[in-house]
Structure 1
Amino acid sequence: AYRVPGNLRDEVLSYLRERELVTSVYLERMLDVRLGRNGKGKGEGVSVEAVAYIVDRRHEQYAGALDADHAARIVRGAVGQSGRNEDYVLSTLEHLEALGIRDHWLEEVGRQVSPS
């Protein structure tokens, strides 16, 4: 979670909506979340309200049923407004690993698109 100063709330929400709601594959939700480890011990276990973007599994662009090989073929060479899709997948895996979260399907996609 990212803490946003109140005076920047509208600006940040506008940015996030422009970035995440382009194709309507995500649904915006306000959720109560509990903060975890941040390396500083601050706020751990505290509940806060957060904006989250949840995939709409009924949306035609939802790719949850793809096998890892097919997903890797789509990701390889694709570029979005925020950069290369390979970089996004590998960065997501790094962040999940730092949080102690395993996603075997995404790990397989990452192996297939990793340059090394």
Structure 2
Amino acid sequence: MPPTPVNMPAARASQLPPPPEAFHLRDTAWHRASIKQHLQHWDGHSDLWVFGYGSLIWRPEFDHLEARRARIHGYHRALCLWSRINRGTPEQPGLVFGLDLGGSCEGTVYRIAAARAYDILLPLWQREMPSASYVPRWLNCQTAAGPVSGLVFTMDRRDEGYVTGLSVDEIVAIVRQGRGRYGPCTEYVLQTADALEAADITDHRLRTIAQALRRPL
């Protein structure tokens, strides 16, 4: 099993992700099939919307025609997914954001040109779903200009990487130790917190976590 994170109580050790041999990345063929499945009702002509709630707010990495502040209901932003690639390793995982059940979440919804949909969605799928930990859903996104149906990557609670019930202190300890192919987990969390503050989006729990991460050890 991966080592217990620094300051992780023994009661939480059982929530650590499985060892590396149980972890499988999805290939390009799987991503293409998943995109096709989730676009089966798309008319092929209308522009598509994608909702961002974490790093997609400050690093969307895809061309878009429009960006709007938006809110979805039924899900909230949480550091609820072990990260063993992007912001951690199998031996020393970090945490990344997911949309967990309950509450609501403010973020940014992006409009993608219909003509470029597949070119944009493939790298987006590969980025957001390297191990299929999220469930893509079409949800109602409320914006100041009216509601739009947006593609939202929600947390799959059945996924072996899902974690819940961590205290702020436990989250901070895990985030501080995580580092993956995209860099330190601390950087990821603080950039998200800063992006929300800049957009005047309030997330009280994330603000508390960010304040703790900025305190000297």
Q: TM-score range by the shorter chain?
A: 0.7 to 0.9
Q: Within 5 A, what are the aligned runs for 1:65-104? A: 65-97=165-197, 98-104=199-205
Distance 1:49 1:29 in 2: 10
1:27 is matched with which residue?
A: 135
Q: Which runs of 5+ in 1 are unaligned?
A: 36-43
**Which has the larger share of helix?**
1
Superposed CA deviations along residues 13-64 of structure 1, whole A, max 9, x for unmatched, are 11111111112221111222122xxxxxxxx332222111111223222223
Residue 107 (str. 1) matches residue 215 (str. 2): no
Q: Indicate the percent of aligned positions where both proteins have the same amino acid.
A: 28
How many angstroms apart in 1 are the aligned matches of 2:169 and 2:186?
Answer: 14
Amino acid of the residue matched to residue 61 of structure 1?
Answer: G
Cα shift at 1:81: 3.4
Comparing 16-25 and 54-63, the one that deviates more: 54-63
Question: What is the TM-score of this pair, normalised by structure 2?
Answer: 0.44
User: What TM-score, normalized by structure 1, do the two folds share?
Assistant: 0.75
SS at match of 1:52: strand
CA contact (8 A) 1:32 1:47 kept: yes
Q: Distance in 1 between matches of 2:160 and 2:204?
A: 23
Given the superposition, is the C-alpha separation of residues 55 and 70 from structure 1 closer, same or farther in structure 2, using an over 3 Å criterion? same
Question: Which structure features the higher share of strand residues?
Answer: 2
Counterpart in 1 of 2:161? Answer: 61
1:15 aligns with 2:115: no
Higher relative contact order (CA 8 A, sep 6+): 2
* Structure 2 unmatched ranges of 5 or more: 1-108
8 Å CA contact retained: 1:86, 1:114? no
Find the residue that maps to 2:141 and give its secondary structure.
strand
Label 1:115 to 1:9 Cα distance change in 2 as closer, same or farther (>3 A).
Answer: farther
User: Is the 1:25–1:61 contact (alpha carbons within 8 Å) kept by the matching residues of 2?
Assistant: yes
Q: CA RMSD in A?
A: 2.1
